Amino acid sequence: MTKTYEIRPGQSVELLKELHILTRDGKMNQDSRRKLKQVYHLFQFIEPLLKEAQQEHADINVVDHGAGKSYLGFILYDLFFKEHAPAGRIWGIETRDELVAHTRELASRLGFAGMHFLNLSVADSMTSTELPAQIDIVTALHACNTATDDAIRFALQKEACFIVLVPCCQAEVAATLRKNKGRALKSPLTELWRHPIHTREFGSHLTNVLRCLQLEAHGYQVNVTELVGWEHSMKNELIIATRKNAPNQRAAERLQEILATTGLEELSERFFTETA
């Protein structure tokens, strides 16, 4: 039976119009129903994490890196924080001045007092005194290429309880595979990325495999699933990491072995596994 997605009671109609989930006259069409389905699908993954973090303390903090127009942050605030976590805060980190100004204006207009937007790079956010010391959840939705790795580095430094990533535009590993292909040809495994299209696809897949191993090396339990159906987006991988254990030396060793096997040793710093 096909599930019907309708606007939930109490949702901000003005916000849904801003996100183009509702048309300007407040109606829904086939495209807006598809967008609403994606919104609820993403929310169902994050809502349990918010509830678990809230069991520890009421003033939970979520940091969204590469926030852009803060699509994710606004949805989380509207569906959860507004009613269930009034003491919580969402922090959108974005480097583009015009987007920071836009999101601040929209949050003010909607009365979303717990939303804050900072014009910072990820590197600057690590030392910023504007952010609270305790960060519960770090998200990065479609943060391009190495921006996802920057968000991981931030989350590891802050010892975030949960990390939610939807990676995209992963070019660096593929470029390094291509550059070092000649040196690695002695291994039959290079057939996995010998052709240019395979280099791109394998590089993207390998990037996320290395990220998962990095998170596991730092004591996180990692779950990888699809965000939405392939008919909606090819940038479909959702990585959810939960801080559970002591550092995992075996995961760190596996990561280094893969880097060596694929000729990516120069990227060791990017996928660092050293723990304090």
pLDDT in 10s for each residue of the chain, 276 residues: 344 457 778 889 899 888 888 888 877 777 777 777 777 888 999 999 999 999 999 999 999 999 988 988 999 999 999 999 999 999 999 999 999 999 999 999 999 999 999 999 988 999 999 999 999 999 998 777 678 899 999 999 999 999 999 887 778 899 999 888 777 667 788 889 989 999 999 999 999 999 999 999 999 999 999 886 544 445 678 999 999 989 999 999 999 999 998 989 999 999 988 875
pTM over 0.85: yes
φ, ψ (nearest 5 deg) of residue 133: -70, -35
Q: Are residues 47 and 122 in the same domain?
A: yes
Beta bridge partners of 118: 93
In a domain, 63, yes or no: yes
Q: Are residues 104 and 122 in the same domain?
A: yes
* Distance between CA atoms of residues 109 and 117, nearest Å: 14
Q: What is the DSSP string of 210-246?
A: HHHHHHHHTTEEEEEEESS-TTT-S--EEEEEEE-SS
pLDDT of residue 31: 75
Alpha helices, DSSP H, located in 57-146: 71-76, 82-84, 97-110, 122-125
Q: Look at residues 45, 49, 94 and name the one whose alpha carbon lies nearest to residue 69.
A: 94
Q: What is the extent of the structural domain holding 98? A: 39-163
In a domain, 19, yes or no: no
Q: Are residues 207 and 256 in the same domain?
A: yes
In a domain, 272, yes or no: yes
Contact 122, 154 (CB under 8 A): yes
Strands 237-243 and 162-168: antiparallel
Total domain count for the chain? 2
- CATH number of the domain at 97, please: 3.40.50.150
SS3 81: helix
Separation in Å, CA 276 to CA 59, 115, 151, 273 = 27, 32, 18, 10
Measure CA of the first residue to CA of the last residue in the chain; give whole Å. Answer: 50
Q: Select from 163, 188, 217 the last residue of a domain.
A: 163
Q: Are residues 66 and 177 in the same domain?
A: no
pLDDT of residue 5: 54
pLDDT of residue 271: 93
pLDDT of residue 241: 98
Q: Which strand ranges, in their side-by-side order, compose the sheet holding 237-243? A: 115-119, 89-94, 61-65, 137-144, 162-168, 237-243, 220-226
